[in-house]
Amino acid sequence: MESRLLRPYAWALVLLLFIPVSAILEFASPGVPVFAAAGLAIVPLAWFMGIATEEIGKHAGPGVGGLLNATFGNATELIIALFALAEGLQDIVKASLTGSIIGNLLLVLGLSMVAGGLRHKSQSFSREASGIHTTMLLVAVIGLIMPALYVYSAGAAGALRLVVLDEMSIGIAAILFAVYLFGLLFSLRTHRDIFNPVAETPERPRMALRTAVLVLLVSAALVALESELLVGSLQAAQASLGLTDLFLGVIVLAIVGNAAEHGSAVLMAVRNKMDLSLAVAMTSTTQIALFVAPVLVFASLFTAQVMTLDFEVFELVSVALATAVLASVVSDGRSNWYEGVLLVMVYAMLGVVFYLHP
Amino acid sequence: MESRLLRPYAWALVLLLFIPVSAILEFASPGVPVFAAAGLAIVPLAWFMGIATEEIGKHAGPGVGGLLNATFGNATELIIALFALAEGLQDIVKASLTGSIIGNLLLVLGLSMVAGGLRHKSQSFSREASGIHTTMLLVAVIGLIMPALYVYSAGAAGALRLVVLDEMSIGIAAILFAVYLFGLLFSLRTHRDIFNPVAETPERPRMALRTAVLVLLVSAALVALESELLVGSLQAAQASLGLTDLFLGVIVLAIVGNAAEHGSAVLMAVRNKMDLSLAVAMTSTTQIALFVAPVLVFASLFTAQVMTLDFEVFELVSVALATAVLASVVSDGRSNWYEGVLLVMVYAMLGVVFYLHP
Amino acid sequence: MESRLLRPYAWALVLLLFIPVSAILEFASPGVPVFAAAGLAIVPLAWFMGIATEEIGKHAGPGVGGLLNATFGNATELIIALFALAEGLQDIVKASLTGSIIGNLLLVLGLSMVAGGLRHKSQSFSREASGIHTTMLLVAVIGLIMPALYVYSAGAAGALRLVVLDEMSIGIAAILFAVYLFGLLFSLRTHRDIFNPVAETPERPRMALRTAVLVLLVSAALVALESELLVGSLQAAQASLGLTDLFLGVIVLAIVGNAAEHGSAVLMAVRNKMDLSLAVAMTSTTQIALFVAPVLVFASLFTAQVMTLDFEVFELVSVALATAVLASVVSDGRSNWYEGVLLVMVYAMLGVVFYLHP
């Protein structure tokens, strides 16, 4: 194992201490402390899941490896969301989806461009890859806007309206999922070269396959455990801290669920690998919108209530505007520190609004 | 007459049989069968009108020819819409306008890109031409949004509000028509080269001028006849099939009115002439928004009620989002099968929503 | 003093006559005549302030000069707005802000592209500079949309809502101001070359420093005087002419406040210096949104009522659409007369709507 693989382990091992801490706190002092400890414990586990998935991918070869990364890339968010869904916290789940999208587009990419831009005057990346990601995002945004528009234009609630909304949500989820599957075919098979401009030499695995599978399974199990603690203490924490559903889902949960992506995207940017940095952040975003959201709708069919895709107008406008500002930033295939600052500032404005919104 | 001109005649001649069929059905069994037969009969007639216009254009020389194509290119939609307007079916007329726009941008271009992309890994086209079309569309969208926004923000209906809405619609129609006229001057005179990158050798006409004029007049007369049958049976068909005004106008009428464009745009894409494919679909769209819509407003001044330009919020959002996703797809001057799939999927989502919308 | 500096003085000296005229009219016949005379008197004064600022900048060197231009570039609008704010005319102040943005983006740039395009078939400019300006504008638009969205979604007015709206406006103003400051650092320090593609030789001052400072101070004082007359007669003029707050602020005041920019941007375009023309119009626009608007919010803390950033939905949609159409026009780094016509036509449509809106 090389030292640069070991370095991140240092902080990760420290944060792993929050696993027992959160379990102990659950009995000693539920509420905010458990919420904080479980949130911190998830960060290193997500990181280990990422590494293990990558290692399994190296053993399996590029095609299957890409598929694995695409499917397990947002496993953390998916697990947290499934636990919250089982608790009936649909509004928070939906808020955490929009939060992940906004956070990846604005905070992760913004910080990456700032960090990279402080070292490099101008950084370039593939306009073709970022253009397709932007269009995919736009398609997802359209899918998320339509049900809310239906609710808005259909007026007062009624039984018929709810049935239609369920059908509409399931139909749109199916279409978004199809967009996702076609996207896999496109990016992993027919147009692999767009997303991998350099003909990379296959990397040697740094873990035995058996170890990697074991790490993946143990991490996933621990993420599930911590997610249960996190979701269980969520409402108590919310009450003590006086946070709104929107702020909690959009800002807090989204940062916890995406912490691993944050780290690696910024690291790539500093190393002037802006293509990889963008790929991490944008792939994660399109996965949330085109894979995680539809899967949650399908999963909700087994709960008491369908998770409909009608988001709050604030969330929708935020996602749409984040997509627009990102499209404007990446359209020229180059980035600099100020474009990063602009993205972060938009995130700050949305944070102010979600914090103050009653 | 060459054989490649004859080939499309085969299906066209078969579909022409629906002219007598629709006339007979009108007496035998009005409603859905007449609606279907008249819809099918219009398809080959629109095709013949297109060919005749093109042939007259070849006799008249490039300048006048371009003008003829620009003016008669959407004659079918215009004729159907005028008949529906005379019947007072303003909502359906407006829905068919937005449907034509959405259908051309998403379905026609999407299918073209898929069909072309299955044969060619990547297809390129002029960014300058597609950029100007996109901006023209955006200007039209702005014109269509404003009256609806006025209605929304002016609140409850009143006599004053209606007068203002009429004036606003006429004023905006006049401006959109001016945009159209300036656009003709631009594309046919001062900047002809942008839209015709290759200095084409003038094509030899394949019909005598007299034949072409005759074909045009007879086809137009038959389109008028079938449009009357179509519009006359429309409400009965709507009732039997349980379709909403929106779905009928946006999806069904729009497909009938644009079937000819669909065919030729896809054909061009398969032959890797993506510039022509885009030109057919985008010129048709801007004509609908900048020529057909204003002309209908002016024509409605001779009916009982002005056709105001306040569209349903669903239609407006759909047109705006279709424009945005198209702009994102064409911005890099290249297309592939997946971008086509994305456009078609957006069309599918809008179809689901318009179908379910009560 | 060179002759080309003298030429604009001819018309300016004539317009200066409106200073005494406006003062005399104030006593003789208040209302529309005073309003018109004060409006006309401000135009040459704004021009002199611009020249004086530029001259001081030449003495001070490029860095400080850029800062001066950036800060005093919109001094006229700022002075008029401060007087109107002191009178409690918040709605008109806000309308004049959106009017300045729309006017600069659509009317100034549109006329520039038309004037330049009539002489030059196609004009090119830096995509990088226009791209960053577009993104800055988009960030400002997001900041302006959020408070209005809050008001819309929070429903009925209440004391809590107003407090939240005040806090939100102050928070967003602070963030927009930070965007402005970082933008100065970016454009004047770290990435100066993007906005000054040609390594310019420092121009020789054409005025002594003392003269320039004197001209600046006297002009500013006279602008303040005329602004008081303008604002004082505004409501009388509005009543006699039957204009709405929106039309007055968005169209009339905005044209008066930006007349100087209009002239110089068009002049640059005719001389085929499209980069400078764009820089004048777009820098002025971002300054309004990122500097003048926040400063007015901060200044309003010393008046009876905080100037909140919740704009009318019509204004917001207009600003957002103007930004979108501008982004579409400048995205390819080239302009022609028709793109200018498209911008002016959008302005005309907005003018119709604001004029008719009750």
pLDDT, one tens digit per residue, over C261-275 is 777 788 888 888 888
A87 neighbors A228 (Cβ within 8 angstroms): no
* A290 conformational bin, left if phi > 0, alpha if psi -120 to 50, beta if neither: alpha
C75 neighbors C215 (Cβ within 8 angstroms): no
> What pLDDT shows up at residue A1?
43
Residue A258, classed as helix, strand or coil, is helix
C337 neighbors B190 (Cβ within 8 angstroms): yes
> What pLDDT shows up at residue A248?
77
**Pick from B135, B161, B171: CB nearest C352:** B171
Nearest Cα residue in chain B from C334: B128
Which of the other chains make 3 or more beta carbon contacts under 8 angstroms with chain A? B, C
The average pLDDT across A73-97 equals 85
Write the CB contacts of C34 (distance below 8 Å, at least 6 apart in sequence): C22, C25, C26, C229, C230, C232, C233, C237
How far is the CA of A87 from the CAs of A74, A300, C239, in angstroms?
20, 11, 60
User: Of residues A131 and A357, which shows the higher confidence score?
Assistant: A131
Nearest chain A Cα distance for residue B348, angstroms: 8
Statement: residue A6 has pLDDT above 70: no
Statement: residue A260 has pLDDT above 90: no
A339 neighbors C134 (Cβ within 8 angstroms): no
Q: Which residue in B201, B197, B54 sits closest to B129, CA to CA? A: B197
Residue C335, classed as helix, strand or coil, is strand
Interface of B with A in 98-137 (CB under 8 A): 121
Chain B residues closer than 8 Å to A282 by CB? none
* Other Cβ atoms within 10 Å of B33 Cβ, number: 17
Quick one: how far is CA B278 from the chain centroid?
A: 14
> Where does the pLDDT of residue C173 fall: very low under 50, low under 70, confident under 90, or very high at 90 and above?
very high
**Pick from C143, C182, C327: CB nearest A338:** C182
**Pick from A331, A342, A352: CB nearest C172:** A352
A311 neighbors A289 (Cβ within 8 angstroms): no
Chain B residues closer than 8 Å to C337 by CB? 186, 190
* Location of structure tokens 């046919």: B188
Residue C110, both tokens: 């549109």
> What pLDDT shows up at residue C180?
95
Of the candidate ranges A57-61, A103-107, C296-300, the one whose mean pLDDT is the lowest: A57-61
CB-based contact C328 B182, cutoff 8 Å: no
Statement: residue C174 has pLDDT above 90: yes
Of the candidate ranges B92-101, B243-252, C128-137, C343-352, the one whose mean pLDDT is the lowest: B243-252
Write the CB contacts of A9 (distance below 8 Å, at least 6 apart in sequence): none
Of the candidate ranges A7-21, B282-296, C95-109, the one whose mean pLDDT is the lowest: A7-21
Chain B residues closer than 8 Å to C358 by CB? 154, 160-161, 164
The average pLDDT across C67-85 equals 81
Nearest Cα residue in chain C from B131: C328
> What pLDDT shows up at residue C358?
65
- Distance from C-alpha of C57 to C-alpha of C50, rounded to nearest angstrom: 11
Q: Which residue in C337, C327, C342 sits closest to C130, CA to CA? A: C327
Nearest Cα residue in chain C from A316: C149
Chain B residues closer than 8 Å to C334 by CB? 128
Chain B residues closer than 8 Å to A136 by CB? 342
A342 neighbors A329 (Cβ within 8 angstroms): yes
**Pick from B131, B139, B327: CB nearest C345:** B139
Q: Which residue in A262, A250, A247, A205 sits closest to A68, CA to CA? A: A205
> Where does the pLDDT of residue C355 fall: very low under 50, low under 70, confident under 90, or very high at 90 and above?
confident
* Other Cβ atoms within 10 Å of A295 Cβ, number: 17
Residue A198, classed as helix, strand or coil, is coil
CB-based contact B121 A178, cutoff 8 Å: no
**Pick from B153, B168, B172: CB nearest C314:** B153
Query: What beta strand segments (E) does C95-251 contain?
Result: 123-124
**What percent of chain A is predicted at pLDDT more than 70?**
91
pLDDT, one tens digit per residue, over A344-353 is 999 999 989 8
Return the sign of the alpha-carbon dihedral for residues B134, B140, B141, B146: positive
pLDDT, one tens digit per residue, over C195-254 is 765 545 667 788 888 998 899 899 888 988 888 888 888 888 888 887 777 777 777 777
> What pLDDT shows up at residue B2?
47
> What pLDDT shows up at residue A153?
76
- Tell me the three-class secondary structure of chain B, residue by residue: CCHHHHHHHHHHHHHHCHHHHHHHHHHHCCCHHHHHHHHHHHHHHHHHHHHHHHHHHHHHCHHHHHHHHHHHCCHHHHHHHHHHHHCCCHHHHHHHHHHHHHHHHHHHHHHHHHHHHHHCCCEECCHHHHHHHHHHHHHHHHHHHHHHHHHHHHCCCCHHHHHHHHHHHHHHHHHHHHHHHHHHHHHHHHCHHHHCCCCCCCCCCCCCHHHHHHHHHHHHHHHHHHHHHHHHHHHHHHHHHCCCHHHHHHHHHHHHHHHHHHHHHHHHHHCCCHHHHHHHHHHHHHHHHHHHHHHHHHHHCCCCCCCCCCCCHHHHHHHHHHHHHHHHHHCCCEECHHHHHHHHHHHHHHHHHHHHCC
B321 neighbors B88 (Cβ within 8 angstroms): no
Chain A residues closer than 8 Å to C330 by CB? none
- Distance from C-alpha of C143 to C-alpha of C146, rounded to nearest angstrom: 6
The average pLDDT across C167-193 equals 92
Ordered DSSP codes for A164-181: HHHHHHHHHHHHHHHHHH
Write the CB contacts of A159 (distance below 8 Å, at least 6 apart in sequence): none
Query: Burial code of A26-53, b = ≥16 C-beta within 10 A, e = fewer?
Result: beeeebbbbbbbbbbbbbbbbbbbbbbb
C338 neighbors C117 (Cβ within 8 angstroms): yes
Write the CB contacts of B142 (distance below 8 Å, at least 6 apart in sequence): C321, C325, C346, C349
pLDDT, one tens digit per residue, over A190-239 is 888 877 655 456 677 888 889 988 988 998 889 888 888 888 888 888 88
Residue C16, both tokens: 């200066």
Instruction: Give the residues across from C29 on adjacent strands.
Output: none
Interface of A with C in 307-326 (CB under 8 A): 312-314, 317, 321, 324-325
How far is the CA of A147 from the CAs of A29, A134, B353, B356, C276, in angstroms?
41, 21, 8, 11, 45
Low-confidence spans in chain B with pLDDT less than 50 = 1-2, 199
**What percent of chain A is predicted at pLDDT more than 90?**
29
Mutate to test the interface with B, among C328, C341, C344 (most CBs of B within 10 A): C328
**Pick from B134, B142, B160: CB nearest C349:** B142
Statement: residue C1 has pLDDT above 50: no
Instruction: Give the residues across from B335 on adjacent strands.
Output: B123
Residue C103, both tokens: 């006017």
Chain B residues closer than 8 Å to C345 by CB? 139, 175, 178-179, 182
Which H or E run includes C218? helix C209-241
C339 Cβ under 8 Å from any chain B Cβ: yes
Q: Would you tell me the crossing angle of helices C75-86 and C90-102 to the nearest 10 degrees?
A: 160
- Distance from C-alpha of B327 to C-alpha of B109, rounded to nearest angstrom: 12
- Distance from C-alpha of C29 to C-alpha of C25, rounded to nearest angstrom: 5
Chain C residues closer than 8 Å to A314 by CB? 149-150, 153
- Distance from C-alpha of B323 to C-alpha of B325, rounded to nearest angstrom: 6
Start-to-end CA distance of chain B, whole Å, equals 50
Chain B residues closer than 8 Å to A139 by CB? 325, 342, 345-346
Query: What beta strand segments (E) does chain A contain?
Result: 123-124, 334-335
Statement: residue C255 has pLDDT above 90: no
CB-based contact B348 A175, cutoff 8 Å: yes
CB-based contact B352 A160, cutoff 8 Å: no
Nearest Cα residue in chain B from C106: B139
C323 neighbors B323 (Cβ within 8 angstroms): no
User: Of residues C113 and C49, which shows the higher confidence score?
Assistant: C113
Nearest Cα residue in chain B from C327: B135
C239 Cβ under 8 Å from any chain B Cβ: no
pLDDT, one tens digit per residue, over B147-180 is 888 888 776 556 666 788 899 999 999 999 999 9
Ordered DSSP codes for C50-81: HHHHHHHHHHH-HHHHHHHHHHHTTHHHHHHH
**What does DSSP say about strands C123-124 and A334-335: parallel, antiparallel, or unpaired?**
unpaired
- Distance from C-alpha of B6 to C-alpha of B270, rounded to nearest angstrom: 19
